[in-house]
Chains A and B, each alone.
Chain A
Amino acid sequence: MTFQYVESGSFESLTSENHKPNSPPDPNYNCIAWAAGCNDSYWWPYPYELVPYFWPLGPQEDDGLAQFIECFTSLGFEVCEDPSFVEGYTKLAIYIGEDGYPTHMARQLPNERSWTSKLGEYEDIVHSDLSALECTLYGKVGCILQKCIA
């Protein structure tokens, strides 16, 4: 079986050892929504109301890292330094490109202690660590967020 994200050749750090596909391709939600736990909407900050895209804080003049931190802070998250698993916490990672702008988000899975990511319109995957998705397309991890769920 072939997977679209593999065929795309866009994720050069993924290996058969550091990830596994989790669900079929679905263009109806993206990585930001998936990080927030949603699989029925497409989240991205945009300067004006643009159906069918959603941003919890409404239209945004910019789609920079500050807008993402502000958004997820409003959802109960706080910035932290360490992506390591901590019992009772959900952690999110924001990847940023060379221009410093967010490109992708991943969510830590509490039980497996690995991460889950929706890859654009492709499949979502489970990956063992954050470096597995550091690539030309997504850049590197630029911010870690955490939220107490205990």
Chain B
Amino acid sequence: MQTLEKLALTDQFLDERDLDLSAADNYAELTDSPVGGEYDDRLYLFNKRRLETAYKRSHTLTRLDYYPENGEDRELEIRFSRLYSQWKAETAGISSIQKVVLNPHYLKIIGMGKPAIPFILNALAQKPDHWFVALSALTDDNPTAPGDNLIEAVSKWLNWGISKGYLKL
């Protein structure tokens, strides 16, 4: 396996990569796999590849100001991915906001503290979701206004992320 830290978010990387993820290219399986070692590498690379694909497909998608390439940031990204996937697996079919935001995996994401903010905003840029409670808790801010629907709230939080330097257009 190539050294992940050397892989860049570039078209050249997309064309040249030769990593074999075929045996573990199911996101749910990856996030359920044991923590550490090769499983983390695969999950990290899977996330990265998915983000690259999203960026290539959309020129208007709000982007992370940087992508965690190594060290603690990369570990946080992997932890966030696992918690996010587990949270969705347990709550995507339900409507209760209380149950959604009190899910243990969601609370663990809030427990990651401010380092989780860019990952949440990145997830929000790719798919509207119930991140508002976490974002309000982590940032002690709220750019939304009474009466905003979900789409409007997402847009305002993404603009907030741009204004604070977490995201870029």
Contact = CB atoms under 8 A, between A and B. Distances in A.
B127 interface: yes
Interface string B128-162: 11001100000000101111111111000000000
B94 interface: yes
A127 interface: no
B93 A28 contact: no
Contact of B93 (A5, A42, A44, A50): A5
A41 B151 CA distance: 9
B60 interface: no
Contact of B94 (A27, A28, A46, A103): A103
Interface in A73-119: 101-104, 119
A49 interface: yes
A52 B96 contact: no
A30 B93 contact: no
A97 B7 CA distance: 48
A104 B98 CA distance: 14
A103 B96 contact: yes
Interface residues of B, number: 25
A121 B95 CA distance: 8
Contacts of A46: 97-98
A28 B96 contact: no
B19 interface: no
Contacts of B1: none
Interface in A15-47: 27-28, 30-32, 40-42, 44, 46
A63 interface: yes
A137 B94 contact: yes
A66 to B, nearest CB: 15
Interface of B: 89, 91-98, 127-129, 132-133, 142, 144-153
